[in-house]
Amino acid sequence: MSSPRILFGFHAITVRLKTAPQSIIELHVEANRRDARMRSFVDRARDAGVKVIETDGERLDKLAGASRHQGVVARVEHVAMPHSLDEVIENVEGAPLLLVLDGVTDPHNLGACLRVADGAGAHAVVAPKDHAVGVNATVAKVASGAAETVPYIMVTNLARALNEVKDHDIRVIGTSDDAEQTLYDLDLTGPVAFVLGSEGDGMRQLTRKTCDQLVRIPMAGAVESLNVSVAAAVCLYEALRQRAKAAG
């Protein structure tokens, strides 16, 4: 059995209260904080049957491993989510929409990507086990609850995983600054997996070769590229826009 993990921050814990309150082992709240937001949060937790413990700030810092916990830290059990790409894809209703990250090692970027993926209705975020960050407390905090709702699938061999995605008739679209086509030239209403590389190095060469096609996001200003989470938002929400329009 997996050991308990730590969640902190109002957004991340509120999502867990919504989706799986029974998985919260205990909730630590800052004893000296009595504002309306905290009172409402504690009432909601107690209504859900969660054990609430008033704790001092120093103890909260130690539990969270960070000081930006907003005065709320929870010990939680892992919630079962799909463990493989096949499992994710087989349970999708409609056209799959995946986000693949090649070389994203910053937890803040991953957390932001998970949040974007949740907002756009992506079915999973995929990354290699090497050259990538796993879901930790910082990722969960930045994701504002999306780490609890979006499957994060880490694969041993990303190129092989992309070929398996293509076996499910999902088009693999990589993003590259030097691509001829732009994102807006494509029909994204069918099954799609967007592949984004790290900000510095972009996609690895083998990942790039595995993509069905490459597109760029038009840049009209002086900067050459977008933060990976912003680029993910542009791609996923364009797919969402097209799908909503096609659905009428």
Strands 24-30 and 97-102: unpaired
Same domain assignment for residues 102 and 171: yes
Same domain assignment for residues 39 and 102: no
pLDDT given at position 169: 96
Q: Which domain holds residue 93?
A: 85-247
Same domain assignment for residues 112 and 197: yes
Same domain assignment for residues 105 and 211: yes
Instruction: Write down which residue in 76, 105, 120 finishes a domain.
Output: 76
Mean pLDDT across 194-199: 90
pLDDT given at position 241: 97
> From start to end of 88-237, where are the E strands?
97-102, 124-128, 152-155, 171-175, 192-197, 213-215
Which of 16-37 are b and which e, b meaning 16 or more Cβ less than 10 Å from the residue's Cβ?
A: bbeebbebbeebbbbeebeeee
> From start to end of the chain, where are the E strands?
5-8, 24-30, 52-55, 72-76, 97-102, 124-128, 152-155, 171-175, 192-197, 213-215
Of the chain, the percentage scoring pLDDT greater than 70 comes to 98
Contact 61, 157 (CB under 8 A): no
pLDDT digits (tens, 9 = 90+) for 219-233: 988 888 899 999 999
Same domain assignment for residues 147 and 241: yes
Number of domains into which the chain is organized: 2
pLDDT given at position 1: 47
pLDDT given at position 247: 87
Mean pLDDT across 150-157: 94
Q: How would residue 4 be classed by pLDDT, with cut points 50, 70 and 90?
A: confident
pLDDT given at position 149: 87
Same domain assignment for residues 194 and 127: yes
Same domain assignment for residues 228 and 113: yes
Same domain assignment for residues 40 and 128: no
Same domain assignment for residues 119 and 233: yes
Instruction: Write down which residue in 23, 52, 76 finishes a domain.
Output: 76
What CA–CA distance (Å, rounded) separates 158 from 81?
Answer: 20
Instruction: Write down which residue in 16, 45, 76 finishes a domain.
Output: 76
